[in-house]
Amino acid sequence: MKRCLLGFGSALVVLVAVVVWVLYSGRVSVAADEPHAQWLYHLLEWVRERSIAQASRTIEVPKDLDAPQRLLAGGADYDAMCVGCHLAPGIAESDFTLGLYPTPPKLTEPRATLQGLSEEAAARRDFWIIKHGIKASGMPAWGKTHDDERIWNMVAFLKRLPDLNENQYRILTSRQGDR
C-alpha cells in the first residue's frame, strides 16, 4: 500500500512539475488571433454556461419585461454600448469584431446558447451576463455603472433584437427612452 501511495504521489509531483514548466515556459499562446484548441474551447464554454446557470438561477425576472418603454430604453442603451461588439441588423461583421477572440455573439441572430432554455431562464442569463460581465472575454460588467432597471431594459431589447430588421432597429434605437 505504501508503494502504491508513493508511486501515486510521485506521479502527481511530476504532473504538477510538467504543468508548471509548460505554463512558465510561455508555450501557451495568449494571442487573440490564435484560437484555443477545440477541447479547451469546449471546456471553457461548458464551464461558462454552468457558472452562469448556477449564478443566475435565483434572479427574479420583472413581470413587465415586454413593456414598450423597456424596449425603447434598452434599444437606446444597446445602440450606445453594445452594437460595437454585438452588431446591428444588416451588419455581418466589423473590423473590430474580426479582431476579437473569443468572437462576441451576434445578438441579432438567434443564439444557440439559449436553445433549451425557457424565456425566463434566458432573461436571467442575459441579465447576469450584462450585470457581471465575462472574465477574459471583453464583456464588461455593466452592473458597476448601471442599475438593475437599466439592465432589465437591455434584456427586454435583446429578447426582441433577433426579430428586428434594419428599419425597426433604427426606429427603436433612435429614441432615448427613460434612463
In a domain, 143, yes or no: yes
- What does DSSP assign to residue 139? B
Cα(73)–Cα(175) distance, integer angstroms = 8
Cα(55)–Cα(96) distance, integer angstroms = 30
Cα(40)–Cα(49) distance, integer angstroms = 14
Cell 502504491 maps to which residue? Answer: 4
Query: In this predicted structure, what is the pLDDT of residue 178?
Result: 46
Cα(130)–Cα(140) distance, integer angstroms = 7
Contacts 24+ apart (CB under 8 A), 127-134: 127/56, 127/59, 127/61, 127/151, 127/152, 127/155, 128/52, 128/55, 128/56, 128/59, 129/52, 130/154, 130/155, 132/55, 134/48
Residue at 10: amino acid letter: S
Rounded (to 5) percent helix, strand, coil in the chain: 60, 0, 35
pTM: 0.85
In a domain, 118, yes or no: yes
Q: What is the CATH number of the domain that holds 48?
A: 1.10.760.10
pLDDT under 50: residue ranges of the chain: 177-179
Cα(137)–Cα(67) distance, integer angstroms = 31
Query: In this predicted structure, what is the pLDDT of residue 32?
Result: 85
In a domain, 29, yes or no: no
In a domain, 91, yes or no: yes
Query: In this predicted structure, what is the pLDDT of residue 179?
Result: 47
In a domain, 53, yes or no: yes
Mention every residue, 6+ apart, whose C-beta is less than 8 A from residue 160: 71
3 state SS of 134: strand
In a domain, 110, yes or no: yes
In a domain, 18, yes or no: no
Full residue range of the structural domain in which residue 85 is found = 35-174
Query: In this predicted structure, what is the pLDDT of residue 175?
Result: 64
- Number of structural domains (the chain) is 1
In a domain, 21, yes or no: no
- 160 closest CA partner among 89, 94, 80, 62: 89
